[in-house]
A = this chain, B = another copy of it.
Amino acid sequence: MAGSVFGNQFRIMTFGESHGKGLGVTIDGCPAGLSLCEEDIQKFLDRRKPGQSAFTTARKEADAVEILSGVFEGRTTGTPIALLIRNKDQHSKDYSNICDKFRPGHADYGFFSKYGFRDYRGGGRSSGRETAARVAAGAVAIKILESMGIFVHAYARSIGPVTAETVDLEEAKKNPVCMPDAKAAKMAGEFLEKCIKDQDSAGGVVECVVTGMPAGVGDPVFGKLDALLAQAIMSIGAVKGFEVGDGFLSASSTGSRNNDAFAVREGRITTLTNHCGGILGGISNGEDIVLRAAFKPTPSIAREQQTVNEAGEELPITIHGRHDPIIVPRAVVVVETMTAITLVDALLSNMGARLDAIIKFYGREL
C-alpha cells in the first residue's frame, strides 16, 4: 500500500507531479455501459483550474484531459479508464532557490525524511496540483451517481472568519469564493484581499451535501461509510479536520436533542431532523449525507519565514512563485469528487450484502 490507490471495487490509482510531464489516474472497476467523453471530465477540471480569479494562482494550465483507454464507441467498456493531463506551464526555475530548504507548513521535510531526497519543484507529488487527477476520476464517479439519481454538491461554508449563513447552491456557482451566500461571499472577498496585501493566506471549511443516497449502504465496523469518507477527504492536501452531520457540535449536545426521530412521510421512512448527517452506525439511512472538511491556510506565503535546510542549518526562507491565498474555492470540486468516488465504491461493494438479492441478480431462483 504505497498510498496512491483508493477504493476497492471502484478503484483509482493516481500519478504525477506538479512540475513533471503531467498528472493522471487510472480507474479500475468502472461499470461498463456509462456514456463518457472527455468533455464530461473536462468541465470538472475546469472548475479546479487555476487562474480563474484574483484568489487563485496565476499559473496558466489548460488541464486538458485525454482519455487513453476504457471507452469504446462513447461508452465505458468495464476495463480500466486511463486519464492523462499534461503539464504545460511549469516554471521550475521559481523553485531553485529553495531546493534544499524545508518550507514551513509543507511536506518537504517529511518527503526528505522518508525518501532521502525529493522532487523540490513545486512540491512534486505533494503539490495541490495532484488533486487534478482525483477530480478527473471523480467526474466519472459523479456521472455514475447521477445516473442513479444521486447528486453531490459542495461549497465554501466558511472562509477565514466569515461563515455563510444561508445555502443557495446557485449563488455558490457565481462568486469566486464558491460561497452559497452572496453577502458572506462579498465579505470573504474583502478578507482575502487583505490577506494578499498582508502577504498572508487564509483557510476555510468546505461543506458537501449528497442527495438521493439509498439507505443501507456502508459496512459495519471499519468499513463505515463515514470512516471511508473521512479517509477520502482527509487525504486531500491541507485538510486538517473532517466531520459528518453535526460533527464536533454533537459532542456538546445531549442524546435527546441529537437523536433523529424516525417518522413516515409520503410512505417513506425518514427522520424529522438530520443531526447524524445521513449516516448511522456507518450505514446510510436514506437522508442527505452532510459532511465538512476544514482546510488550513495555504502554507506558501510571501512573507519571510524561519526554517532549516537539508544540512541542518537554520536560515530564513522566502517563497516566490505563484500561490493561491486560499485553497478552499478550488478545493470545493475536489471534495465533491472524492465524496463521489467513495460513494460509488460503497454502492458497488454493497451489492453482495444479501443472498436473496444475489440469487435474483444471477437469475438463479431454483
**Interface-facing stretch out of A47-55, A57-65, A176-184, A355-363:** A355-363
| Closest CB in chain B relative to A213 CB, distance in Å | 10
Instruction: Report the nearest B residue to A160, measured CB to CB.
Output: B252
This protein's copies in its complex = 4
| Closest CB in chain B relative to A165 CB, distance in Å | 16
Q: Does A97 have its Cβ within 8 Å of any Cβ on chain B? A: no
Does B251 contact A247, Cβ atoms closer than 8 Å?
A: no
Q: Does A288 have its Cβ within 8 Å of any Cβ on chain B? A: no
- Within A213-231, which residues are at the interface with B (CB < 8 Å)? 214-224, 226-231
Q: Does A235 have its Cβ within 8 Å of any Cβ on chain B? A: yes
Does A251 contact B352, Cβ atoms closer than 8 Å?
A: no
Does B227 contact A147, Cβ atoms closer than 8 Å?
A: no
Q: Which of A72, A199, A263, A352 has the most CB of B within 10 A?
A: A352
Instruction: Report the nearest B residue to A267, measured CB to CB.
Output: B312
CA of A276 to CA of B110 in the docked complex: distance in angstroms? 12
CA of A76 to CA of B16 in the docked complex: distance in angstroms? 12
Does B119 contact A77, Cβ atoms closer than 8 Å?
A: yes
Q: A78-B115, A115-B354, A116-B356 are in contact. List 9 more A-B contacts (CB 8 A).
A: A3-B221, A31-B353, A33-B117, A33-B354, A108-B281, A222-B232, A229-B234, A240-B246, A348-B358
- A106 / chain B contacts, CB cutoff of 8 Å: 280-281
- A130 / chain B contacts, CB cutoff of 8 Å: 220-221
Q: Does A144 have its Cβ within 8 Å of any Cβ on chain B? A: yes
Does B4 contact A223, Cβ atoms closer than 8 Å?
A: yes
Quick one: CB contact mask for A283-297 with B, threshold 8 Å, 1 for yes?
111100000001111
20 cross-chain CB contacts under 8 A: A2-B9, A2-B10, A4-B80, A4-B219, A4-B220, A17-B70, A17-B72, A20-B72, A32-B115, A111-B281, A114-B215, A114-B283, A115-B216, A200-B254, A214-B362, A262-B314, A267-B312, A276-B296, A348-B358, A357-B361
Does A247 contact B69, Cβ atoms closer than 8 Å?
A: no
- A31 / chain B contacts, CB cutoff of 8 Å: 352-355, 357-358
- Within A296-351, which residues are at the interface with B (CB < 8 Å)? 296-301, 303, 305-308, 312-314, 347-351
